Amino acid sequence: MPLDHRRVRGPEESQPPELWGRTRKDDEEDEDDAPRDPCALRPLFARAGLLSQAEGSAYLELGSGTKVLCAAWGPREASELGATGGGQLLCEFRRAPFASRGARWRPGTAAEREAEREAAAALREALEPAVRLSRYPRARLAVSALLLQDGGSALAAAISAAALALADAGVEMYDLAVGCALCCSPGLAAPWMLQPAEPEERRAVAWLTVALLPALNQVSAVLGGGQGSPPNAWAQALRLGIDGCHRLYPVLRQSLLRAARRRDAATAT
């Protein structure tokens, strides 16, 4: 019998995939059932200055699986002044088609475009107080955030990564904007949880994203919604989010310093 050389022949004997690895359903059930300290921060990895095509860039990854890549450009000449009399900050937020579990994200529909516009507006609201736009009259600054994988707390990760990218581009800033997300599960006694994962966000009844300028101890944005929590619980969540931003700040600052050292070393050689 002639062989079909157009195909790669498989092994004579094979085993089901469950024998060698766990299924996605099992991983989700373990993640949902695993207890976690509500005040604990997930591991965070950040690196600035890794894209040569952009004037500034940053990559940020959370322990929940969220991965964000940001690029920044500017200043570029603009035809008119910004709303505050200084420069303009343009923000873009996009999701990769493979960012979420389950059905693939299909960019182009009205609902998806609206979701990306809302995320871009929230990103701009959080970043504008951190940038010294008055130093860039009739100029335009641009930052683009690409969500590669959504494991939860995506907007907060994008805020921190975008601030790193702007600082890496040499944009004058008052401070780095640090984002921290929280959510609250159903139940009267359910605590607010820092940096929720995607399964925790899916079953949450209230959520909050805090953006902070830690060196100035100034909140640049508070974004959230939901129901089922009394007013004092929201105040407690805000304090918890501010504390989380302060704890994340040294990691982002060290990432920016390492990028500056790499750039200086490359210039010296």
Q: pLDDT, tens digit, for every residue of 29-70? A: 444 455 678 888 889 999 998 888 889 999 999 988 999 999
- Mean pLDDT, rounded, for 163-189: 90
Tokens 């010296």 belong to: 268
Q: How far apart are CA 37 and CA 255, in angstroms?
A: 26
- Mean pLDDT, rounded, for 131-140: 89
Stated pTM of the model? 0.83
C-beta separation of 63 from 79 below 8 A: no
Domains in the chain with CATH codes: 37-78+87-101+110-268 (3.30.230.70)
pLDDT at 173: 94
Task: Look up residue 93 and give its two tokens.
Answer: 């937020």
- Amino acid letter at 138? R
Mean pLDDT across the chain: 82
Which residue has better confidence, 196 or 186? 196
Confidence of residue 228 (pLDDT cuts 50, 70, 90): low
Q: How far apart are CA 11 and CA 233, in angstroms?
A: 59
pLDDT at 59: 95
20, pLDDT greater than 80: no
Q: How far apart are CA 55 and CA 91, in angstroms?
A: 15
Pairing of strands 88-95, 139-149: parallel
Pairing of strands 88-95, 206-213: unpaired
